Structures are given as structure tokens and as C-alpha cells.
């Protein structure tokens, strides 16, 4: 009894099974130039990375607020027995 084998095409042109025609590949882009597709993909990644993130913006604002509060407390308060007390 023979074993069933599966021939995987690794894209090499030596066996003639691989079709080099890029027209069959539909990536949603009408441009057939692969270099332009790669550049377009990299630009899309850059665009996604540069979009403002409201969570990060809010966190940065909170950090600045806390820093300002720490400065205000250090100049206007003193600590007695673990309790902050306004300076006279």
C-alpha cells in the first residue's frame, strides 16, 4: 500500500509548478508593481503609528498635572507625622 504524499510548492521555478504571473494575486491594489506595494504598506504602518492616541494624550496631561501638584504641595505644605499641613 502506498503512502499519500502532498507536493508543496515553495515558489521555486525549477519544477514549473509556480506561476510567476502576478495578475492572479489580488491585494486590493490596482498597481502591479511590488516595490510600490511594499512602500505603500510601510507608509500605512507609519500612518497608523503617527495617529494620536487619546489615552496616551490624557495620560501625559495627568502626569503633567501631578507634577504641577507635587511642586505646589512642596512649596505650600509641610509634613507632620505623615500628614500634609498648609504652611502658615
Assigned domain for 82 exists = yes
Give the C-alpha separation, 24 to 9, whole Å: 16
Assigned domain for 60 exists = yes
Assigned domain for 80 exists = yes
Asked if pLDDT for residue 42 goes beyond 60, the answer is yes
| Residue ranges making up the domain that contains 77 | 52-88
Number of domains comprising the chain:
1
What's the pTM value of the predicted model, to 2 decimals? 0.37
Assigned domain for 19 exists = no
Give the C-alpha separation, 78 to 87, whole Å: 6
- Predicted confidence (pLDDT) per residue in 48-81, tens digit: 666 788 898 999 999 999 999 999 999 999 988 8
Amino acid at each position: 500500500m502506498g503512502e499519500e504524499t502532498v507536493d508543496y510548492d515553495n515558489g521555486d521555478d525549477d519544477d514549473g509548478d509556480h506561476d510567476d504571473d502576478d495578475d492572479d494575486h489580488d491585494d486590493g491594489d490596482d498597481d502591479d508593481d511590488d516595490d510600490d506595494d511594499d512602500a505603500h504598506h510601510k507608509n500605512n504602518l507609519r500612518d497608523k503609528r503617527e495617529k494620536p492616541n487619546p489615552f496616551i494624550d490624557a495620560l501625559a496631561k495627568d502626569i503633567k498635572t501631578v507634577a504641577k501638584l507635587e511642586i505646589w504641595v512642596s512649596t505650600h505644605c509641610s509634613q507632620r507625622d505623615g500628614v500634609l499641613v498648609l504652611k502658615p
